[in-house]
Amino acid sequence: MTPRTGDTAAPRPRRGPGRPRQDEADSGPGTMERIRLAARSEFAARGYDKTSLRGIAKTAGVDASLIHHYFGSKDELFADTIELSLEPALLVPQILGAGPDGIGERLVRSFLGIWENPVGRAPLLAVIRSALTHEAAARVLRDLVLRRLLERVADELNVPDPTFRAELAASHLVGIAVLRYVVQVEPLASADPDHIIELVAPTLQRYLTEG
């Protein structure tokens, strides 16, 4: 139904930051990056439901048909956007892979580090908001992103039900993000990150390492 259908789709090359060359203004990797950045900004500002491909096209300065051409449906573009935003979180398996000593602290510290940076926060907020309000967005997060991320984490754990344990740890972190950064309930919203880390690290340590 869409131009992007599995193995028959054209490869989607990435290029580093920089201004698009003139001959890329309406096609090629420069256009794709502009669409990606516009999508991230639109999804972050409006959430899944209120974001339209037309609005993204306008922000990116391209024709909407190009978005269909490169990314397929709105769902597919959203999945691409989440992956782009969650790249720092993909470091989690490396954090865990450094060994069991102190992984609870490394995990909560890196998680808060991503959220304390406003540039990283906006797209993550958009992901949480969208997944909570739109089943298609929840499906993308659940089936595409979380499953892959949590299974990579689980691979590093030596406990019973490793995926379940990883999800319990993730649930605590997600809940902290919701109350601290979204609802902004005090005193949690203004608490020193080290104070949170001190109390939460032993919890994650237990979930991820103790049988």
Residues forming the site for a copy of itself (CB under 8 A): 47, 128-129, 131-133, 138, 141-142, 146-147, 150, 161, 163-165, 167-168, 170-176, 178-180, 182-185, 187-188, 191, 195-196, 199-200, 202-203, 206-207
Give whichever of 67 and 177 is closer to a copy of itself, judged by the CB atom. Answer: 177
- Which residues are CB-neighbours of 1 under 8 A, at least 6 positions away? 73
CB count in 10 Å sphere of residue 211? 6
Give whichever of 99 and 164 is closer to a copy of itself, judged by the CB atom. Answer: 164
Residue 9 · residue 1 · CB < 8 Å: no
User: What's the CA gap between 26 and 23, in Å, rounded?
Assistant: 7
Give whichever of 79 and 176 is closer to a copy of itself, judged by the CB atom. Answer: 176
Q: What is the DSSP string of 49-74?
A: HH--HHHHHHHHTS-HHHHHHHH-SH
DSSP structural state of residue 11: P
In a 10 Å sphere around its CB, with 0-12 CB exposed, 13-18 middle and 19+ buried, how is residue 99 labelled?
exposed
Please, what is the minimum distance in Å from the beta carbon of residue 168 to a copy of itself? 6
Give whichever of 21 and 195 is closer to a copy of itself, judged by the CB atom. Answer: 195
Please, what is the minimum distance in Å from the beta carbon of residue 6 to a copy of itself? 24
Give whichever of 7 and 210 is closer to a copy of itself, judged by the CB atom. Answer: 210
Please, what is the minimum distance in Å from the beta carbon of residue 145 to a copy of itself? 10
Please, what is the minimum distance in Å from the beta carbon of residue 147 to a copy of itself? 7
Please, what is the minimum distance in Å from the beta carbon of residue 100 to a copy of itself? 17
- Cα separations (Å) of 80 from 33, 44, 99? 11, 13, 31
